[in-house]
Every structure is written in structure tokens, then in C-alpha cells.
Chain A
Amino acid sequence: MDTNIDALTTIFTEFYYWVTVVMMFLIHVGFCMYEVGASRRRNHMHTLMKNTMLIPLVTISFFFFGWWIYFAFPNGPFIFEGKGLDYAAATAARPWDPSMGTNLSDHISGVFWAAFLLFSWTAASIVSGSVIERIRSGAFWILAVVIGSVAWIIDASWGWHWDGWMVKILGYHDAYASGVIHAIAGGFALGILVVLGPRLGKFREDGTPRDIPPHNPWLVTIGLFLIYTGFWGFYAACNVPIISPEAIGGQITGVTWTATNIYLAPTTLSAITFNFLMSLSGGLMAAYVVSKGDSFWTYSGGLAGIITASAGNDLYHPIQAMFIAAIGVVIIYKMHYWVERKFKIDDAVGAVAVHGYAGFVGLIIAGFVLWGQPSSPYEGYAAINPLGMFIGAVIMFGVLGFLPAYIISKILNGMGLLRVPHKVELEGLDFEANEAYQAAVNDVIAAETAMVK
């Protein structure tokens, strides 16, 4: 920082990402409230702890190796021009490198790492809701580390990195993570659910599904409101706030500084503010009508609307964002119930639909609407196109989402470590704690009652 403008840019960027991290914490608070509200009373604490403890586990594993993966894997390895791991680019992300600690010559690594880490929490937290009330915490936490510190960060390295092979070859464009967070998390959740099975009582003997309503719809909706709030941080964190053409080093000429998306292609905070709010609105309106005013689906539809439009929300016109959100919500609502009936999948919070299908559909739509636009400011990259975006959606949802979750869940299930015993599921996962709590309450009441003269 040898000039004032350099110092200001650096400190502004540092503070910018730091603020996004604080805002993104609200996403996790929202997910916890949402899940606890959706679970039944006898499973509250287990549900809350399951989601809470992914925070430290994903954090330390992301420090240990997740961050390094992002910089080492842009070529596949061996997918782009036969190139292997990029050890040189990943040097500063090694946990033992001086950049990964208090360092006066590096103001960015810590906040940039944390912004990515909060995405990791979100990916794992999306999965958490769909498997409530019957998964073992130990199994979930292993799966949380797999998606939070391995699978999603590989997809980020491939498709959410200025040098990623999917951007170069496929013209993959996913500015606000329709695919790299939501489609993968939805696919991952589905991979677990196929092996885990439905909650006891979810399906009648004739195979028709029962509705298991949330014990506290109010808490669920406030949770979703908080997720909306945290999403502002998520969106801001997807941008580079200020950078010069010289620092980008691509084809851009002139001296005009700009904000960019993660691919270093220009956009503005103003653009994503327009599009965030219009896609939220399109999603809410479509969900209200298609669900006939159901509050759970209306709120979820607002989120799904944003997720559907997110791939191209750096470029869309606000009205396009609104329509894309509305279309996506109708599709995912219908898909959720079709999959539930057809394949007996019990997704307790609709996460596979709201995140997985919405992300997948959003990528497909972006491929058509943004067809021909440059995916990158660098020369030689494929332009955005429908086929590349479809392949990208399959990679996100299927290859990096569904597949690893299915395989690991099969292994855990084979070892008897995936699902709680049926008796315990009926008693409630908090049974022991609830019994102890009630005994303590009874003891205190009896003791104090006896003191009354």
C-alpha cells in the first residue's frame, strides 16, 4: 500500500468482505430457526445442534484444505489441456503459509477466506433441513464437511473462478451461485434422502404422502426472512467491489475502475440490487398463487425466485429477473410434489426443490437468455451458451452434488451409522434430554412447593 489510493482500495475491499461475512451469519441463524420451526417438539435441540455444529467442523476443515482446493483445482485436474493441480497458485492458501495468519502485507486473505467459508456453511445448512428428525448427527457432520469443504469448493474452482475450466470451455456463467451453491446443495440433499428414506409416518400404506406440518410456522417464516436478509451479504460477497482494468489484466481497455463478478467481468452493486429485489418479488408472487397462499411455500418461493435468477443477476434486466424467478418457482413447486409422490422422497423443508431444482432451472434459463455474451474478460473463453450451461447444471446437481452424497450415505448406511433407530425416532431425538429436563423441573417444583408454609 504505497499510495493513498492503493491503501484506500485495499482497506475498503477488506472491510467490504468483512461486512458481507457478518451479514451472511444471518443466513445460518435463519436456517437454524427454520429447521427448528419445521421439526417437531421432541426433536428441537437435536435439530439445532446438528446445524450449529457444522459451523466449527466446516470452518476448521475449510482452513485445513478447503481453501487450498479452490486455488489448486481450476484445471480439474487434468480436464483443461491436461494440466494438473496448480500448486503455485495455491501456495498462499496452504494452512502453514504466512498469508494464512496475521500478516501486515496481506489484508485480504482472511476476509476473502471467510466470505467463501460462509458459503460453505450455507451449502451444508441447506442439506441439514431436508434430513431432519431421523439422521444421526455424526453422519450428517461427515456429510457437511464433504459438501462444505470439498464438493462445493471443487465446483467453485471449476465454475466460479476466473480461471476455472468450466468457464473457459463451457462458457459457464453463475454469478450469484444458482449452481455452485444451490444446485449442488440440492443435489447433495437428494443423494442423502434416497438412501436415508422418509420419516416414519410420512407415507401411508398405500404410498400417498402425509403432510407433516411445521410445529411453529411463525418461526419458519421468520427464519426465511432472516435468510433473505443474509442473502444481501451473500450477493455482495460474490462481487469484487472495486478493481482497475490494469489489475484485471484482461481485454478491457481504458482506465475506468469497476466492480466485477467473480469472473472479473464488470457489473455493479446497483444492478444486483435491482435484480435481487425483482426476483424476490417475482418468486413471492408466483409462489403465493401456485401454492394458494401457503405461507411456507410463499416464503420458500421468494428464496427460490432469487436462486433461479442468481446465475445471471449480474446481467439481467430487472423485469427479466422477475419473470425468470416466477417461472422457476412454478416449476420447482410442481417438481417437489411430483418427486415426493413418484419416488417417495421425504424432503422435510423442500430444500431439494428450493435450492436444487431452482438452481438447475436457473442455469438452463441463463444459458438461453445470456446466449452469446462473454463469460469472461479474458480472450479465448467460450461465450455463455445453452449447452454449456446445461452441462454445467448436470455437473453441479448430479456429478458434484448427488453422486458423492449418495456414495457416502450408502457407506454410512452400510455401517449402520446413517439413521437413528426407529424406536428413538418415535421417542424423539431429544428423549433423554427431555426426560432429564422434566425430572429436574419436577424435582424443583416439589422442593419449592414443600417450602411454602
Chain B
Amino acid sequence: MSTNGMTDWAVDLADVAAIYPFQGSEMLMYILALVFWIGWHVIQMRQEAAELDRDAKADRDGSHTKAWIAKY
């Protein structure tokens, strides 16, 4: 099952390089990581837009806003 090419440590460390699992899948992992990163921005911006929308619709008479301004 080992995916890093090692099943024991009976090796000369001078001959060993990468030891992470699923070697050979680096490009796939990289693409998935890019999707994660871009996806995060999309989700975050949607959440932020929804929050700003709620904020903009709140406190119609401005009383809470004045109170927060007064608190500095």
C-alpha cells in the first residue's frame, strides 16, 4: 500500500530523496490546490456581498449607526 516507495528504512539515506505519499500525483494535487484557492475567493466574495447587503438594509433610522460612531 505504501505510496512513497518505501516499505522499510533499510536504505542508505544518501540514496533517498522525496518521501511524501502519492508521488507522481504532484500535478494533480497542484491543480486541485488551485481550484481550492480560486473557489475560496468565490465563496468568500459571495459571503461578503451577502453580509454587506444585510448591513445596508439594516438600521433604517440610523440610531444604531450614530451609537457606534459615538463609541469611536
Inter-chain contact A317/B29, CB cutoff 8 Å? yes
A292 to B7, CA, bound (A): 43
Contacts of A372 in B (CB 8 A): 1-3, 7
B67 within 8 A of A: no
A254 to B13, CA, bound (A): 7
Inter-chain contact B47/A293, CB cutoff 8 Å? yes
Interface string of A306-329 (1 = CB under 8 A from B): 000000000111011011001000
Partner of A256 from B14, B20, B22 at Cβ < 8 Å: B14
Partner of B9 from A322, A370, A377 at Cβ < 8 Å: A377
Inter-chain contact A288/B44, CB cutoff 8 Å? yes
Inter-chain contact A251/B8, CB cutoff 8 Å? yes
Partner of B33 from A293, A322, A376, A377 at Cβ < 8 Å: A322
Contacts of B7 in A (CB 8 A): 372-374, 383
A95 within 8 A of B: no
B59 within 8 A of A: no
Partner of B6 from A317, A323, A374 at Cβ < 8 Å: A374
A240 to B4, CA, bound (A): 22
Contacts of B12 in A (CB 8 A): 252-254, 256
A369 to B19, CA, bound (A): 13
Contacts of A376 in B (CB 8 A): 9
Task: Known A320-B21, A373-B2; judge A252-B32 contact (CB<8 A).
Answer: no
Nearest CB in chain A to that of B40: its residue: A285
Nearest CB in chain B to that of A282: its residue: B36
B69 within 8 A of A: no
A209 within 8 A of B: no
A277 to B44, CA, bound (A): 21
Total A residues in contact with B, Cβ cutoff 8 Å = 36
Inter-chain contact A373/B32, CB cutoff 8 Å? no
Contacts of B43 in A (CB 8 A): 289
Interface residues of A in 286-304 (CB under 8 A from B): 288-289, 292-293
Inter-chain contact B21/A317, CB cutoff 8 Å? yes
A253 to B6, CA, bound (A): 14
Inter-chain contact A289/B32, CB cutoff 8 Å? no
Task: Known A319-B30, A373-B2; judge A252-B21 contact (CB<8 A).
Answer: no
B11 within 8 A of A: yes
**A408 CB → nearest B CB, Å:** 40
**B5 CB → nearest A CB, Å:** 9
Contacts of A254 in B (CB 8 A): 11-15
Task: Known A289-B47, A319-B29, A320-B29; judge A251-B21 contact (CB<8 A).
Answer: no
Contacts of B11 in A (CB 8 A): 251-254
Task: Known A289-B47, A322-B36, A371-B1; judge A317-B9 contact (CB<8 A).
Answer: no
A250 to B11, CA, bound (A): 10
Inter-chain contact B13/A256, CB cutoff 8 Å? yes
A383 to B36, CA, bound (A): 31
A389 to B16, CA, bound (A): 26
A129 within 8 A of B: no
Contacts of B26 in A (CB 8 A): 317
Contacts of B70 in A (CB 8 A): none
Inter-chain contact A371/B10, CB cutoff 8 Å? no
Inter-chain contact A252/B13, CB cutoff 8 Å? yes
Nearest CB in chain B to that of A373: its residue: B2
**B57 CB → nearest A CB, Å:** 17
Inter-chain contact A317/B33, CB cutoff 8 Å? no
A379 within 8 A of B: yes
Task: Known A289-B47, A315-B19, A370-B21; judge A258-B6 contact (CB<8 A).
Answer: no
Contacts of B20 in A (CB 8 A): 315-317, 320
Inter-chain contact B51/A293, CB cutoff 8 Å? yes
4 residue pairs, one from A and one from B, having the closest CB atoms: A372-B1, A254-B12, A372-B2, A256-B13
**B62 CB → nearest A CB, Å:** 24
A377 to B11, CA, bound (A): 10
A253-B11, A317-B20, A323-B32 known; 20 other A-B pairs, CB under 8 Å?
A250-B9, A251-B8, A254-B13, A254-B14, A285-B40, A288-B44, A289-B43, A315-B19, A316-B20, A317-B21, A319-B29, A319-B33, A320-B29, A323-B36, A372-B2, A373-B21, A374-B7, A376-B9, A377-B9, A383-B7
